[in-house]
Each structure stands twice: as structure tokens, then as C-alpha cells.
């Protein structure tokens, strides 16, 4: 019965163009990849899909640091952090991260996690107890939604970016603890949350602001410190989650917050306690990544990314404006995430396939990841792209759109 039930659901997904398929990448994470897919030989593609915004994932210094870390610390941590898996290098990375975030969160303490998904589950389940209410932007990442669903606290969602709606919800909330939760850079739209206004509301209503900066850490703000720094924010009310597998180019995540909050996560967060600590070699490589992010190399890469974003927006802005009858829109984003919203699932898949036949890989994102009727190409840029790559994408989109018309 189970197999029949699942097969039926898979057929339904096929019928709605919602079946997801994995591709096998046969090269390190770079814009120019070799990719295999079912029934097809591996072939080269120019990719606009990774979250490796600074192009650090295949940086030789990080590969070398990982190897050095494995040489010093071996392959695995062997246990959870609360047993014997917490090594000196994990602790050193936490100290580095806390110091890096200190300009935004006074006296911050940091705590490392294996993934951003686990960090978000930790935050919402450990802080969202029966005395709390969680207030969440409707476009928050799945990991924040799942964390809120697992928490004992009730969740109230507010329409995307609607400060007025949130203010009203906060005003009528009677629980003593209030947690506002938001992506800093929305992962499928690329826009920024109104963090200054959200922090002002947190202050006004004695709430806490949990900021998921998966797509801002390393990219935005002074020295790549992230979206809090981009807005010049500094407050003890901020609870920050940054991921380390995107712009930082390695893996993992961290929370930076008031020391008591971090201490409570260590005591109560099940996705921290009941899992094996990440390999210490990862922490070792991440310390090098942090130095690259903060230093001149990071500055150069952020400047390159900014140039490419402007070039892409100019070319795609013209492309969209030239054919309004298609109904396509370029999302209002200033970040490395530049979605081209197409509408229907089939149209997005067809456009992605037409680009692929021209040697480009731009993923079609469909519901339930994005709202129904807003299927899109999620174009992401990296400092490892060249201006030539971006122009090739713009030209190929024009040709692909004409071929589909
Ligand atoms: C906004 C956001 N939060 C959290 C995560 C989860 O991070 P990780 O991939 O490290 O689990 C992601 C991405 O995957 C994300 O886009």
C-alpha cells in the first residue's frame, strides 16, 4: 500500500510539473561545471545556481586549510559537543565569530552548528516555549517555519515585510516572551527584510529579533559582517544566525547572541545536543574562510559581485521591459539572488530547459518553495563569475525567450 500511495503522489507531482530531480555535478563548485543528468552524458554548463556568493567554495586556501585541519585533527569529531566532540578548534571558531559579530551584538557569544537548518530548529524550539509567541514573515525559509511548527509557542505569520501587520499582532499579544523571526535576505526573492523597523518594533514591544542571515553573512556589511552591519544595527535584542556553507564556502552555521541565550541553547537545543559535532577540520577551514572574508580578498570579491549584480540588473531590466506581454518580472533585489519571475511551473521549466540547451544552468524554482503562480528562475551570482558570463546569460535568455514564443 505504501509503495502504491507514494507512486500515486509521484505521478501527481509529474502532472503538476513539480517533480524534483537531482543532477550529478562532476567538478568542484565553480561557475563552469560538468554536469550529468538521467539518460544524458556529462557536459559542460555555465551555472547560476550556487550560494557560493564569494566563490570561496573551491578557493585553494580553503582546500589546503581543510587538509591541514584533517592532518591535525583527523577526520571526525567522534561524539556530540556535550560529550567529547567539542575540540579546541571548535571553541576557537566560536570565539572568532563572536568577536566578528560584536559590533552588532554587544558582548555576543557564538555557538557552532552542523547546518543552518539545525541552528534554526535549535533557536525556535529552545526559545519558543509555552511562555512565548513566534511572529514570522510569511516568506521565511522552510527551516524557520519547521522550527516554529516544532516549538511549543504559537506562531503568527505576517504578510511579507508588513511592519504594520506585525505591530498590530505584537500589540495584541499577551505572552511575556515575543520572538520576531525573519530571513535577512529572502532566499527566493533576494530582497532585504526591513531590519531597522523590525528592531524598532522589538524595542517598542519588548520583543526579540531572530535574524537568519544565510544569504547576507560574508556578502553584506562592513568586512562581510552581514545584514545587521549593512543596516548599522547594534542591539542586545538581536539573535543572529549565519550559515557557513554559502558565502563562507565550507559548511555549518552559527548563532551569535546574548551569552544567556547561547548558554540556554547548549542546555536545551536538541539539534545541538543530540548530534555528532562537525569534523574539527571543518572548523579549522572556517577560521581561514573568516580571515578571507574579513580581509582584502573578501573586499575584492564583494566589489566584483556588486559590479556583476549591476550589470545583470541592467541587462535583464531591459530584457523584461522590452516584452511586457510575457508578464515576466525581475524581482526587486539588490543582492546576489536575482529571480526572474515567470509565473507558471511549466513556463519556468521550459525556460530553464531552453537555457540548458544553450549550455547554461539556471534552476526553475516552483511551489511549494515559492507561492503558486510565481515560479521563477532563481539566478544567483558569484564573485567567481566574469562579466562575460553575465552577458552570456543575458544573451541566452533573449534567445531562449524568442525560441519559446
Ligand atoms: C534563509 C535560509 N536559512 C537557512 C538555510 C539552511 O542553511 P543550511 O544550508 O546551512 O542548512 C538556508 C539554506 O539552505 C536558507 O536559505
Distance CA 255, CA 239 (A): 7
Distance CA 377, CA 319 (A): 14
Task: Tell me, in angstroms, the distance from the centre of ligand 1 to residue 243's CA.
Answer: 7
Tell me, using a 6 A CB cutoff, whether residue 87 lines ligand 1.
no
Pocket test for ligand 1, best of 144, 243, 255 (most atoms within 8 A of CB): 243
Q: Pick the residue whose CA is nearest to atom 7 on ligand 1.
A: 116
141 CA closest ligand 1 atom index: 1
Task: Tell me, in angstroms, the distance from the centre of ligand 1 to residue 47's CA.
Answer: 20
- Residue range(s) occupied by CATH 3.40.640.10 in the chain: 60-294
Tell me, using a 6 A CB cutoff, whether residue 212 lines ligand 1.
yes
Pocket test for ligand 1, best of 29, 53, 114, 117 (most atoms within 8 A of CB): 117
pTM over 0.75: yes
Tell me, using a 6 A CB cutoff, whether residue 245 lines ligand 1.
yes
Tell me, using a 6 A CB cutoff, whether residue 253 lines ligand 1.
yes
Q: Tell me if the domain spanning 20-49+297-404 has CATH number 3.90.1150.10.
A: yes
Q: Tell me if the domain spanning 60-294 has CATH number 3.40.640.10.
A: yes
Tell me, using a 6 A CB cutoff, whether residue 113 lines ligand 1.
no
- Residue range(s) occupied by CATH 3.90.1150.10 in the chain: 20-49+297-404
Task: Tell me, in angstroms, the distance from the centre of ligand 1 to residue 226's CA.
Answer: 15
Per-residue pLDDT of the chain (405 residues; tens, 9 = 90+): 999 999 999 999 999 888 888 989 999 999 999 998 767 778 899 999 999 999 999 999 999 999 999 999 999 999 999 999 999 999 999 999 999 999 999 999 999 999 999 999 999 999 999 999 999 999 999 999 999 999 999 999 999 999 999 999 999 999 999 999 999 999 999 999 999 999 999 999 999 999 999 999 999 999 999 999 999 999 999 999 999 999 999 999 999 999 999 999 999 999 999 999 999 999 999 999 999 999 999 999 999 999 999 999 999 999 999 999 999 999 999 999 999 999 999 999 999 999 999 999 999 999 989 999 999 999 999 999 999 999 999 999 999 999 888
Q: Assign 3-class secondary structure to the chain.
A: CHHHHHHHHHHHHHHCCCCCCCCEECCCCCCEEEEEECCEEEEEEEECCCCCCCCCCCCHHHHHHHHHHHHHHCCCCCCEHHHHHCCHHHHHHHHHHHHHHCCCCCCCEEEEECCHHHHHHHHHHHHCCCCEEEEEECCCCHHHHHHHHHCCCCEEEECCCCHHHHHHHHHCCCCCEEEEEEECECCCCCCECCHHHHHHHHHHCCCEEEEECCCCCCCCCHHHCCHHHHCCCCCCCEEEEEECCCCCCCCCEEEEECHHHHHHHHHHCHHHHCCECCCHHHHHHHHHHHHHHHCHHHHHHHHHHHHHHHHHHHHHHHHHHHCHHHCCEECCCCCCEEEEEEECHHHHHHHHHHHHHCCEECCEECCCCCCCCCEEEEEECCCCCCHHHHHHHHHHHHHHHHHHC
Amino acid at each position: 500500500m505504501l509503495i502504491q500511495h507514494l507512486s500515486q503522489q509521484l505521478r501527481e507531482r509529474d502532472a503538476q510539473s513539480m517533480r524534483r530531480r537531482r543532477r550529478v555535478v562532476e567538478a568542484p563548485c565553480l561557475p563552469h561545471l560538468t554536469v550529468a543528468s538521467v539518460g544524458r552524458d556529462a557536459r559542460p554548463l555555465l551555472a547560476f545556481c550556487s550560494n557560493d556568493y564569494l566563490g570561496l567554495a573551491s578557493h585553494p586556501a580553503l582546500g589546503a586549510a581543510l587538509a591541514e585541519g584533517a592532518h591535525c585533527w583527523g577526520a571526525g569529531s567522534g561524539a556530540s559537543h556535550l560529550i567529547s566532540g567539542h575540540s579546541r578548534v571548535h571553541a576557537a571558531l566560536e570565539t572568532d565569530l563572536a568577536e566578528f559579530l560584536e559590533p552588532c551584538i554587544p558582548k555576543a557569544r557564538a555557538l557552532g552548528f552542523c547546518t543552518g537548518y539545525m541552528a534554526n530548529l535549535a533557536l525556535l524550539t529552545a526559545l519558543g516555549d509555552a511562555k512565548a509567541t513566534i511572529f514570522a514573515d510569511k516568506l521565511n525559509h522552510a527551516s524557520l517555519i519547521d522550527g516554529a511548527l516544532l516549538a511549543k509557542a504559537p506562531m503568527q505569520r505576517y504578510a511579507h515585510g508588513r511592519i504594520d501587520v506585525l505591530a498590530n499582532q505584537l500589540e495584541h499579544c499577551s505572552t511575556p516572551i515575543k520572538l520576531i523571526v525573519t530571513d535577512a535576505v529572502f532566499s527566493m526573492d533576494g530582497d532585504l527584510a526591513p531590519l531597522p523597523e523590525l528592531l524598532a518594533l522589538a524595542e517598542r514591544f519588548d520583543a526579540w529579533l531572530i535574524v537568519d542571515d544565510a544569504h547576507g553573512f560574508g556578502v553584506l556589511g562592513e568586512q562581510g559582517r552581514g545584514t545587521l552591519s549593512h543596516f548599522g544595527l547594534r542591539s542586545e535584542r538581536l539573535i543572529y544566525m549565519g550559515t557557513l556553507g554559502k558565502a563562507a564556502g565550507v559548511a555549518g552555521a552559527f548563532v551569535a547572541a546574548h551569552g544567556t541565550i547561547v548558554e540556554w541553547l547548549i542546555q536545551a537545543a536538541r539539534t545541538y545536543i543530540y548530534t555528532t559535532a562537525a569534523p574539527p577540520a571543518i572548523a579549522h577551514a572556517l577560521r581561514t574562510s573568516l580571515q578571507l572574508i574579513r580581509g582584502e580578498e573578501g573586499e575584492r570579491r564583494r566589489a566584483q559581485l556588486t559590479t556583476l549584480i549591476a550589470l545583470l540588473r541592467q541587462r535583464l531590466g531591459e530584457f523584461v521591459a522590452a516584452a511586457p506581454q510575457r508578464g515576466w518580472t525581475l524581482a526587486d533585489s539588490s543582492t546576489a539572488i536575482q529571480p526572474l519571475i515567470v509565473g507558471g511551473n511549466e513556463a519556468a521549466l521550459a525556460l530553464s530547459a531552453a537555457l540548458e540547451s544553450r549550455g547554461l544552468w539556471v534552476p526553475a524554482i516552483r511551489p511549494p518553495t515559492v507561492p503558486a503562480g510565481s515560479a521563477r528562475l532563481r539566478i544567483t551570482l558569484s564573485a567567481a563569475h566574469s562579466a562575460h558570463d553575465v552577458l552570456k546569460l543575458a544573451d541566452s535568455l533573449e534567445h531562449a525567450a524568442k525560441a519559446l514564443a
